[in-house]
């Protein structure tokens, strides 16, 4: 174990981070198991090494109901993520992985897409509250891959990417999905749509529909994304929009 309250430990870790930055060329940090030490300590490392980007892994359990599924309201869960960024410094480079969005998406794509509109009408994860500080993801080395601790439904992974790559927040693509699953071209198309239309971490999200079999949203008035098996949505798509990417139960205009 590392005693992060020990001043010598702090000094040597800061020196190491600055060496990684100046000599090796790294410019961002990932804080593993960030709930294992205080945000005050993370703030020391960030302030004294000045990375251009920093993201924390704060993985805690969602609130579950008696049916074993997440409650619709996950405000406490996403508040914990917001609190960490607040304590580290909201004006700095600190962000957190949006585990709230991950957990809700896991279930929503299994015929419960109504979950993607929170009680306030916004996105239900951290991206609905503070998208500039939310790093959205579908799976990572812990949840998916060989560890398989909280995997996304494998046949619906591209629905997850259609969501995070068109929405506000900073999307994170999982190595395995991109290089090992044969999804590179599909993911590339979604990345191209995001880049071409300038969708960014503070883009404006308007949720048009959130039903069991259909989620439809417009981003920045430029991009529309549909998740779910409902096919006939033409009456909900404004004129002038053309399909730019599509796949199993998703489409992007």
Positions annotated as catalytic residues are 32, 57
Task: Give, as one character, the DSSP assignment of residue 70.
Answer: B
* The token pair that represents 249 in the structure block: 């139960």
In angstroms, rounded to a whole number, what is the distance separating the alpha carbons of residues 165 and 193?
A: 9
Cα 137 to the chain's mean position, in Å? 4
HEC string of 127-170 equals HHCCHHHEEEECCCCCCCCCCCCCCCCHHHHHHHHHHHCCCCCE
In angstroms, rounded to a whole number, what is the distance separating the alpha carbons of residues 58 and 40?
A: 14
Beta bridge partners of 56: 31, 96
- Select from 113, 141, 138 the least CA-distant residue to 209: 113
């Amino acid at each position: 174990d590392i005693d992060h309250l020990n001043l010598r430990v702090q000094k040597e870790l800061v020196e190491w981070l600055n060496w990684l930055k100046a000599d090796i060329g790294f410019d961002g940090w990932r804080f593993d198991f960030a709930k294992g030490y205080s945000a005050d300590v993370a703030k020391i490392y960030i302030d004294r090494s000045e990375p251009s980007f920093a993201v924390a892994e704060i993985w805690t359990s969602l609130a579950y109901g008696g049916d074993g599924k997440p409650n619709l309201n996950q405000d406490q869960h996403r508040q914990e993520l917001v609190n960490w960024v607040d304590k580290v410094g909201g004006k700095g480079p600190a962000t957190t992985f949006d585990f709230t969005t991950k957990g809700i998406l896991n279930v929503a794509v299994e015929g419960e897409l109504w979950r993607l509109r929170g009680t306030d009408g916004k996105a239900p994860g951290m991206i609905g509250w503070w998208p500039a500080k939310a790093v959205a993801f579908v799976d990572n080395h812990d949840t998916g891959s060989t560890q398989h601790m909280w995997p996304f439904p494998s046949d619906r992974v591209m629905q997850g990417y259609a969501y995070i790559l068109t929405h506000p927040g900073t999307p994170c693509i999982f190595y395995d999905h991109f290089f090992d699953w044969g999804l590179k071209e599909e993911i590339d198309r979604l990345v191209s749509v995001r880049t071409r239309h300038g969708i960014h971490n503070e883009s404006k999200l308007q949720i048009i529909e959130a039903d069991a079999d259909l989620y439809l949203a417009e981003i920045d008035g430029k991009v529309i994304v549909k998740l779910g098996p409902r096919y006939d949505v033409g009456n909900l798509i404004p004129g002038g929009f053309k399909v730019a990417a599509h796949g199993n139960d998703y489409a992007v205009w």
